[in-house]
Amino acid sequence: MTTQFDNVSVIKQANVYFDGKCVSHTVLFPDGSKKTIGVIFPSTLKFNTGAAEIMELNAGKCRIKLAGASDWQTYEGGQKFDVPANSSFDIETIEMLDYVCYYL
């Protein structure tokens, strides 16, 4: 896992959600794709997806329950999880997450 993205554009203004529990910046790639890089502070939140997403965790620890799932799964730094398009997931952040979100 590389530590940086090269040859990209970055939007200066942050995305701040859930009263500051989630802060991210948007990165634009030459192929027209985008990712967000950000943090989620300890909290229990529900995220809705438009595009399908891959959440890649650089650091932290959380429990995830995808829409329709009955079980919570635990993920930590170095792991990732997939979220379907037009769906949602519940996330309990136990230790602050540092993440990269890929939009597919």
Should residue 90 be labelled a site residue for a copy of itself when binding is judged by CB under 8 A?
Answer: no
25 is a contact residue toward a copy of itself (CB under 8 A):
yes
| Residues forming beta bridges with residue 61, ordered by sequence position | 76, 95
CA distance 76 to 69: 19
**Segment interacting with a copy of itself (CB under 8 A) among 6-14, 45-53, 64-72, 86-94:** 6-14
What Cα–Cα distance (Å) separates residue 11 from each residue in 45, 68, 94?
25, 34, 28
Cβ neighbour number for residue 65 with a 10 Å cutoff: 16
Residue 44 in contact with a copy of itself, rule: CB under 8 A: no
Give whichever of 7 and 70 is closer to a copy of itself, judged by the CB atom.
7
CA gap 95, 43 in Å, rounded: 9
- Residue 5 interacts with a copy of itself (CB under 8 A)? yes
Q: Is 27 in the site for a copy of itself (CB under 8 A)?
A: yes
Residue 9 in the binding site for a copy of itself (CB under 8 A):
yes
**Contact call for residue 37 and a copy of itself (CB under 8 A):** yes
